[in-house]
């Protein structure tokens, strides 16, 4: 069970939205896709909640990655790639002091780990990647493929599912990918069309969050909003 009120989750997502709106909408869709899959498999309510919250926060560390790196259409330099790959650890450092359940922190820290050990930050092997993380990782990849990028158009739901099924044997959990393949397409279309959970646009951080010394990012953002970024 989460030891922090859900209000904190909403505040974090609202703060992310103000700074990196496209990352925030990606997080909402990943969360909603993950909940669909977990419900499809009949997973326990606590696991569904872990996936919902972990999906919402999985990329929050991208707030610390410069926009020019997130938006760069061409190939990243080695230094830029390292900066991008630091976002799971940035996210963990931002959220861990708030007291979230370790299962949620695992999603933030390990969602770029891959079954063939090609992932980061730790190069975990497939068996070491927690189940909730595997679900968010597949849905993260699915949403990335079905969203437009500066360097390519969005793939259709069918094309993205086919691509992931081809890659599932070595990089992604086959059980999760087969679940994605069996979710009715209208449900995925509803999420893609904005059927994800909505958040209050006027939400402000609570005193409890602002008092947390280890969340200067939230306090600084709400006191001195930085330049808006598309991503
Ligand atoms: Fe990520």
212 CA from centroid of ligand 1 (Å): 25
How close is the Cα of 222 to the center of ligand 1, in Å?
24
- Which band of pLDDT confidence, cut at 50, 70 and 90, is reported for residue 167? confident
Q: Is the pLDDT of residue 219 over 70?
A: no
CB-based burial, 150-165: b 16+ in 10 Å, e otherwise: eeeeebebeebbeebe
Active site residues: 62
Going by pLDDT thresholds of 50, 70 and 90, the confidence category of residue 191 is confident
∠ Cα 66 123 171 (to 5°): 95
Per the document, the length of the chain is 231
Q: Are 172 and 134 in contact (CB under 8 A)?
A: yes
Phi, psi at 156, each rounded to 5°: -70, 165
43, 65, 56, 39: which is closest to 4 by C-alpha? 56
Q: Which residues pair with 152 in a beta bridge?
A: 149
Which residues are within 8 A (CB) of 223 and not within 5 positions of it... i.e. 6 or more apart? none
- The stretch 88-111 carries a mean pLDDT of 95
State the distance from the centre of ligand 1 to the C-alpha of 195, rounded, in angstroms: 21
- Quick one: pLDDT band at residue 4, thresholds 50, 70, 90? low
Cα of 70 to ligand 1 centre, how many Å? 11
- Cβ-contact 28, 196 below 8 angstroms: yes
């Amino acid at each position: 069970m989460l030891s922090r009120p859900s209000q904190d989750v909403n505040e974090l997502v609202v703060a992310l939205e103000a700074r990196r709106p496209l990352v925030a909408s990606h997080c909402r869709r990943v969360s909603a896709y993950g909940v669909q899959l977990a419900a499809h498999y009949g997973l326990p309510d606590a696991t569904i909640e872990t996936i919902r919250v972990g999906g919402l926060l999985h990329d929050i560390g991208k707030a610390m990655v410069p926009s020019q790196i997130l938006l760069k259409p061409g190939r990243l330099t080695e230094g830029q790639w390292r900066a991008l790959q630091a976002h799971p650890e940035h996210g963990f450092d931002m959220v861990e002091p708030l007291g979230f359940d370790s299962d949620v922190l695992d999603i933030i820290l390990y969602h770029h780990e891959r079954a063939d050990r090609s992932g980061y930050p730790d190069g975990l092997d497939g068996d070491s990647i927690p189940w909730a993380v595997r679900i968010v990782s597949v849905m993260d990849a699915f949403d990335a493929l079905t969203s437009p990028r500066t360097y390519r158009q969005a793939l259709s739901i069918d094309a993205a599912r086919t691509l992931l099924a081809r890659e599932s044997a070595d990089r992604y959990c086959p059980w999760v990918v087969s679940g994605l393949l069996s979710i009715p397409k209208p449900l995925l279309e509803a999420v893609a069309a904005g059927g994800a959970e909505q958040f209050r646009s006027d939400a402000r951080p609570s005193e409890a969050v602002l008092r947390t010394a280890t969340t200067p990012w939230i306090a600084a953002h709400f006191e001195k909003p930085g330049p808006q970024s598309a991503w």
